[in-house]
Structure 1
């Protein structure tokens, strides 16, 4: 597919999303405090990746916030609430799942696309107990962000082009993919049991134990703990923060421990924001990340957001290697249609002690429509 055709197809997908009627999934309620709500989103994107020698244009699903559908059931029992959540990705071709040699299947669903099959019991006095496929306690702790551009730019810098291989300076494709060199050590989702405390003046403490129930012949076990903080009323400022640690054991691989934290602060009168994150794996590398954002209300459509960010990592693939990435992004909300249209550019720079690699870059243009 040439770039003009790919761009036109992406524009058509964006126009379709914007032209679609705005609605949220309906909520059905019973007479005993119960409800059913369904929801979802579509996030098509045009991806153009330049590996320093060739450019590859793809129509993809944005892996940073993939297309999905789900429903929630809620039933009150006095002061307590029982909740059930089912959510699955739709199985469209992901932006981090294509590479120089393959575009993969346009649509391919299997059980690993299931995101949540989650039962929760939310008590009035003792916190929340969860069981099933869902977020570990450390899921999302690297992603504190108040910039408004998180749909296409964030600490998970490999989401835009993680499957592509770096080229060596001699022009050959290497065995190092973007996702190998750029990672955030975030917790993710597993089949798990989890406990979250009540909110104590903005603080919530969490712990979980999980295993990968969606993959066959897998004995991975992960234990983690986390603490998060949110305060929207700090005078002219709002603050989000999170810190967590995870321990993972799996036959055939070395045990590992990840420590990750992030903080985001916004000056609400001006719309300026700053986010920072850092993470370390005891048997591998570490990284630091910073993002500056700005949000304004320039049009009646909705808020307009911009950001610039920088990622610096080391020892991710091999001892002594280095990985840097910077990116810029713009997101325009269209409130009446629950749409966020975006355009982003990112560069990747990776080197190790024995090889020099060409810099690469990616453009992402698309829209997320929530329903």
Structure 2
């Protein structure tokens, strides 16, 4: 239970390094929390491998990676091979819409203006993500303060005077590691910490790859936030016992009706939050809203196979021959979401407002 703090130095896990032949610099998240190792990604195959094995991950970061992947393809490959390489990047992971959005953005720039235009478009997407995350953080923090202002449960009353601190829960990793800087849902939590109003954070471990335990706890510790790690199955009871004021989650795709796809287990958190009577927020950039996907039923959910479930760090934890259902994401229906918070707006899907409103 680390002590509270006010933040840490800037973390940028994905960035472009300029040069005669530029390259992507990625923090290899598969090595965290034990080692901070940066990868030099200078070809399309290396980028696709990094995306598929989750060395880089998170919807906003994948969009930026896709855009710079187009630049790598145009730099390194014969012109005739570029379209196929772009298609491979675009489809490296199917659920997160940002990967396709970023890839398509840079591909259009490449077609219209060549390599320099594609590089400019990718850099602009990177910079826009930084601004979007800052805007989401402020909007989300203010929304939480409004939501808890009328909460008068005795066990949540503040001591002394002034605005009361809040206790927040989150799942998976939605911080700087999932973006360019700051992040989405965890970015909101960091803003609450900066405001001096974070009483405590609860990070779900997020099985099977433990992004909460390995990555979110690492970020929370790095920013000096007071937190506890909990097993996923403890989330509902933690809410029920009154330990949580609001739940924050990210999204990899937001359908036109407000349904959202996020890390497996998010749906269960939304159900528990509804039962406990606390707000449940999705925090994601506008680029994650996919108006071409009508509802959550139309979202392609990635299944990552049995290995991640039946083994842990390469050690078998299930009988040989065991197979597993391993969806990486689930869909939370819009009516369980208090609001979707983007850099531009707060969409109250729980009362029937649509993301295209």
Normalised by the length of structure 1, the TM-score is: 0.24
Bigger strand share? 1
Greater gyration radius: 1
Higher helix fraction: Structure 1 or Structure 2? 2
